[in-house]
Chain A
Amino acid sequence: MEHPILFISIILEKLGLPIPHGPVGHTLIEQLCAPYMTYTWFTMIFLMVVGKLTLGNLEIVPGKGQNFWEIIIGGMDNFFVENMGRDLTDKLFPMIATFALYIAVANLIGLIPGFMSPTSSINTTLALTIIVWITHHIIGFRANGFAYLKHFLGPMPVLIPLMLPIEIIANVARLLSLSIRLFGNIMAKETLLGILFLLAGAYFAPLPIMILGVLVSLVQAMVFVLLTVVYFTQSNEHVH
C-alpha cells in the first residue's frame, strides 16, 4: 500500500533525485532514496541535533535539557545494571542505549502525518537484529571460550542428539522473532493509520489508534531492548 504523503520523498523528488515506486528501488541511488532509508537518516540527524542542542555545554547544576537526558540515561543504566550486572553494562551501554533511543524515536516518528517509521520496513529491523544476534555470540565466546558451545548441548551427554537441533532451532528463531515482532507491530500501526486517514481522516478516526500507537511504540522499543539484554546475559553466563 502506498503511504499517503512523505515530505522527505517529495523534497527529494523536487531536487531531481529518483524515488522508488515499489518498496525498494533498482539502482543504488533509488535504493538510497527509499523512504525507510531517508527517514532513518532523519532520525539519526534528529537524535544528534537534539543531543547537541540540549547537551552543548554540560553544567554541574543541570538545566532543563540536561535534566531530561540525565533521567533517561540514568534510568536505562539502572535497568541494565539490574538485569546484566555492572561489567557487561559498562562494556555494552553505548550500543544498547543507542538502539533503545533509535527504535523509540523511529517508532514514534511515524505517528506524525508526513513521516513514516523506518522500523516499519523489515530491512531496518533485520539489520538491528543481526547486529544483536552476532554480538551475543561474540560475547559468549569471549566470556567462555569454546566451552560456550556447551550451551547448545543440553544437560547430559545422552541427550545431545535430541538437544542440539532443538537448541540450534531455538537460537535461530531468536533472529526471526526479534525482527518480525518489531516489524509487524510497527507496520500494522502504520498501515492501520494510513487506512483510517484515507477512510475517515476528517472525523478524527485515527485518533484512538494514535493513542494506542504511542503505547505500542514505547512497549516494542522496550521489548527489543529487554530481549537484547536477556540474550547478552544468557550468553555471558558461566557454563556448568
Chain B
Amino acid sequence: MSKMSKEMIHLLGNYGHIGFTFVAAIFVGMGGGIYLDRKVFDDRTTPWFTFIGLAFGIAAGFKSLFDIIIKQQDKD
C-alpha cells in the first residue's frame, strides 16, 4: 500500500467516527431524559428531564469531541 493511502486510512480511522460519537451522545442523553420523564416519574415532570438530558447529552458530545482533539495533540 502506498504512503498516501495509508495516511488516508489512518485519518479516516482517527476522525471518521467523530460524527457518530457526537450524535450518539446526544441521543443517549435525550433518551435517558425521556425515560426518566415517562417511566420513572409517570409524566408528572414532563418536559423538564427531557431538556436536562438533552443539555447533558450535548455537553457529553462536546466532551467526547474535546477528548479526541486532546488525544491527537498529545500524539503529535
Contacts and interface: CB of A to CB of B under 8 A. Distances in A.
Contacts of B23: 177
Interface in B1-24: 9, 12-14, 16-17, 20-21, 23-24
Contacts of B60: 165-167, 169-170, 173
Interface in B46-61: 56-57, 59-61
Interface residues of B, number: 23
B56 A165 contact: yes
The interface residues of chain A, by DSSP majority, are classed as helix
Contacts of B12: 219, 222-223
A180 interface: yes
14 contacts: A167-B63, A169-B29, A169-B60, A170-B25, A177-B21, A180-B24, A181-B17, A181-B20, A219-B9, A219-B12, A222-B9, A222-B13, A223-B13, A223-B16
Interface of B: 9, 12-14, 16-17, 20-21, 23-25, 27-29, 32, 56-57, 59-61, 63-64, 71
Interface of A: 165-167, 169-170, 172-174, 176-177, 180-181, 218-219, 222-223, 226-227, 230
